[in-house]
Amino acid sequence: MLKELNQVIDYIEDHLTDDLSLEMISDYAGVSDYHFRKIFFYLAGITLNEYIKNRKLSEANKELLNGEKVTDIAFKYGYQSVDGFTRAFKKWSGFLPSDVIKKGISKTFPKLSFVITVKGGTAMEFRIEDKPKFNLVGVSKRVPMQFEGVNNEIVNLAKSITQEQREEMHSLQNIEPFEVVNASYDADANFLKEEGGLTHLIGVLTTKNVVSNQLDVVPVEACTWAIFPNEGPFPSTLQETMAKTYSEWLPSSDYEVIQAPSFSFTKMDQHKKDYAYSEVWIPVRKK
């Protein structure tokens, strides 16, 4: 995965002044758009869109220092007007493009290079399981894509579940894990857009096919799952586990993510406040 990530960085670098091709970046990534975005975000600390924007403006700054005209630079890096470029540059750097030319001040954002660094020698607990095909059955909603913090749309989705829907989900549940899960899938294809969305489902796993129309059904083919158990303060421990799964385990493992819903579940501790056991399930295959 590190090789593919660095290939993406090189591709972006070679095409900073072009209309970047989603198809080419997807080919380099080697995983689904959504999973690639998560891997990139957790490794780089910023979204892919932010990275591309920062690199464009950094190179623009360099060329302004070399005496290039603001108008030429604005259009070279894909801005529709000088005003649009000036606003973006000011927001990014804190000063105007004209200040670079007149005063020689500058800001840089260097090209990324991904490497794996072992931190603290902490082993990450996981297990690999093969599961037959099943259905995710529950209540779903299109929600904004969000890698950190509380997604209020998902909170509202959970509150919307009726007692009748809960009872039917409970009657259908017949395959491990025997828990209510949160699943994410069908992310918007254009991962250069930060405003994209995905479908989030709260429900259960079942091998049954007879389901009422009050619940949504998502078929999942037989595949292999990498499962990451974690226990501690909630939700920080779960979020940290998800981040380490994508930023540390996946890039250095013998597995790659496949196009299927990922999901997690959480069991709150009844005796400790804000403390829980959780599991993160990621669909994978051997490289």
pLDDT of 1 higher than 70: no
Ordered by start, the domain boundaries in the chain are 2-103, 127-286
- pLDDT class for 191, splitting at 50, 70, 90? very low
pLDDT of 135 higher than 90: yes
Can you tell me which residue has the tokens 């991904």? Answer: 114
Of 7-21, 90-104, 169-183, the poorest mean pLDDT is in: 7-21
pLDDT of 15 higher than 80: yes
List of residues 6+ apart from 236 with CB closer than 8 A = none
Q: Residue 114: its pLDDT value, please?
A: 67
Average pLDDT estimate for 213-228: 94
- pLDDT class for 119, splitting at 50, 70, 90? very low
Of 18-22, 25-29, 48-52, 230-234, the poorest mean pLDDT is in: 25-29
Residue-wise over 57-84: b if at least 16 C-beta within 10 A, else e?
bbbbbeebeeebebeebbebbbbeebee
CA distance 12 to 19: 10
Helix (H, G, I), strand (E, B) or coil at 199: strand
User: What is the share, in percent, of the chain residues with pLDDT greater than 70?
Assistant: 85
Of 78-92, 136-150, 164-178, 266-280, the poorest mean pLDDT is in: 136-150
Please give the CATH architecture assigned to the domain spanning 2-103. Answer: Orthogonal Bundle (1.10)
pLDDT of 76 higher than 90: yes
CA distance 84 to 211: 52
Average pLDDT estimate for 23-47: 67
Per the prediction, the chain carries an average pLDDT of 84
Average pLDDT estimate for 76-102: 92
pLDDT of 141 higher than 70: yes
CB < 8 Å & 24+ apart, contacts of 63-66: 64/97, 64/100, 64/101, 65/100, 65/101, 65/104, 65/106
The pairing of strands 197-206 and 181-185 is antiparallel
pTM for the structure as a whole: 0.67
Asked if the domains 2-103 and 127-286 are classified in one and the same CATH topology, the answer is no
pLDDT of 121 higher than 50: no
CATH of 127-286, one of 3.40.50.300, 3.40.50.1220, 3.10.20.340, 3.20.80.10: 3.20.80.10
Q: Residue 152: its pLDDT value, please?
A: 85
- pLDDT class for 90, splitting at 50, 70, 90? very high
- pLDDT digits 0-9 by tens, 91-102: 999 999 999 988
